[in-house]
Structure 1
């Protein structure tokens, strides 16, 4: 089965051809500064989550600086992104801390930390207004990497071949997901599976995977997973993926102030694009999409998962002072949102 998966994945890659290997256009032939950036996203997803921002940067920067963008696993495997970034093999990364195995105290909170957010706007508020940005900057500075900016992506839902209508239906399901999300959901019988991103679609087709808990419905349609799964579970593990832009510290420190500011502006434009693209896409495809049937676990039963998440938070907080700081902020923030009521939280 594994051999067939790799054969089909290789065949698919050959069919796509050189297009998947082509970075965004460089608008200057011989720029004074050239960076290489790798994203966690494959080609279809990168068209939305990063490529427009990089092309905008290149148009504005001209011959002063250009960024070459590479897609998931093109230069190094996603799990090796941090080491490549730290060594300067690549200059910048777009990923979450969890997927790229950052050796920091905040890594566990990257990607989908269970129920840390309810909506995508929660993530930038937590980083920019509640102090998470300062903590991330401190932690990455210790290991020689510059944390540039954090933002939100889509919520985390299960896309499966068989319907999920109760917690019992999750038992034994082999699911591709993020390390922390998989660790948390394993208590409900989910079997987390780690595979290269580009192999996921074929792994579902061959039966190596029963489902995916890596995204919302927008990505399921965008990257082709809606073509190989039949059901979409409306309950989510978290309201938004927390991801970031990172840079090699030496590469970043060498930049002129103007280029640092331009990086910030174009990263902010990327965050803004994703806010509306995902928010609109999730609703549109739930109501208009024809490829996946929606299923739901009853609220009373799903409350068991939410309750377990708070226990999980406390277990994480006990591991270090820094993790305790982050959990304390998450608790205070969510309590405030619940107290604020609609539209911040619905109870």
Structure 2
């Protein structure tokens, strides 16, 4: 399967929420797969991406290709989705690859890294740059192919029990965060904690941690973080456009009829767009409600942003020096992003800055 070819064409046929579907032969096989999600059902938008995809697949095949979605913990814990797909425990997964930073930091480039690409930049790199090809080669070593299947867009900077006024306030801060972002904050004295989504609230409530990041207003409100932490910071500089991904075991992929492969790819593309649209539609109301209930919205001071940026660039250089796989993908990622910034700051940047100033 030519991954780059798919990424360029998977969106074809998507118009007004519909998909152009191939005719399914009368003798097409009945196939039932299991998908393990890294997310709880309560987070209906990010978890729901897998359900949207599975529904489209079933509809397009007349019910002959069924994908049953299981929430995190129902088959395997959320952080175990990678191994479940790699080892063939399940046929599919739905997750974010930076969860597996500990296996190899290269995986994080498939989702998001600090001061990295936005959703649109990421889509461009994956579809029309080298992102799809390079990451496809890397994941294939673990018997996994990946298909973009959602994006949360730029996230918030999280919930804090005290204000962050200077870089010094990060020293000793116990914060629920992981991956590259955790490594960056460690350079500035923070103490990153790896805590599953369902355990964040009690940890904040009891003071076991001082701060926590999750996604954005819609999901954060559902989890009730505003009840146990007063200050809500932005932006989430570590997640400019985090891609959510469908994992498929390579052996299982090879067994699928070509028609089913195409349908699965197009269904993932539809779910990808749908997730972005849902978050963009729901976050404004949730943010207004949070602020109305007493949440104090704060922007990270420039001093803090600059220190984190410097630490992130140092970390990329250090990681590239000792990890050839990371360097290969990151060098291409950075070059592509530099060109994207050059373009987007001209038309879109000037346009959005102007209309924002009028509100």
- The TM-score normalised by the length of structure 2 is 0.79
Residues 140, 146 of structure 1: 8 Å contact kept: yes
Indicate whether 1:153 and 2:156 are aligned: no
Give the count of matched residue pairs.
Answer: 316
Residues 177, 192 of structure 2: 8 Å contact kept: yes
Counterparts of 2:161 and 2:50, CA distance in 1? 29
Q: Which runs of 4+ in 1 moved over 6 A?
A: none
Q: Describe the superposition over 1:148-193 as per-residue Cα deviations: whole angstroms up to 9, x where unpaired.
A: 3365323342222323333333332222222222112112222111
Residues 38, 70 of structure 1: 8 Å contact kept: yes
Q: Could you say which residue in structure 2 is the equivalent of 1:270?
A: 271
- 1:77 CA drift (Å): 1.9
- 1:300 CA drift (Å): 4.3
Q: Could you say which residue in structure 2 is the equivalent of 1:123?
A: 122
Q: Describe the superposition over 1:290-317 as per-residue Cα deviations: whole angstroms up to 9, x where unpaired.
A: 3421012222442222232222222222
Residues 173, 191 of structure 2: 8 Å contact kept: yes
Give the match's secondary structure for 2:208: coil
Indicate whether 1:37 and 2:30 are aligned: no
Give the match's secondary structure for 1:148: strand
Indicate whether 1:61 and 2:61 are aligned: yes
Residues 104, 140 of structure 1: 8 Å contact kept: no
- 1:342 CA drift (Å): 3.6
- The TM-score normalised by the length of structure 1 is 0.82
Q: Could you say which residue in structure 2 is the equivalent of 1:50?
A: 50
Counterparts of 2:337 and 2:100, CA distance in 1? 27
Give the match's secondary structure for 2:176: strand
Q: Describe the superposition over 1:242-301 as per-residue Cα deviations: whole angstroms up to 9, x where unpaired.
A: 331111112111111121111111111111012222234444444453342101222244
Give the match's secondary structure for 2:99: coil
Residues 133, 150 of structure 1: 8 Å contact kept: no
Moved more, 327-336 or 131-140: 327-336
Q: Could you say which residue in structure 2 is the equivalent of 1:190?
A: 190
Q: Could you say which residue in structure 2 is the equivalent of 1:302?
A: 305
The alpha-carbon distance between structure 1 residues 89 and 182, as it changes in their structure 2 partners (threshold 3 A), is same
Structure 2 residue runs of 5 or longer lacking an equivalent are 1-28, 354-359
- 1:332 CA drift (Å): 1.5
**Within 5 A, what are the aligned runs for 1:263-342?**
263-289=264-290, 290-291=292-293, 292-340=295-343, 341-342=345-346
Q: Could you say which residue in structure 2 is the equivalent of 1:72?
A: 72
Structure 1 residue runs of 5 or longer lacking an equivalent are 1-30
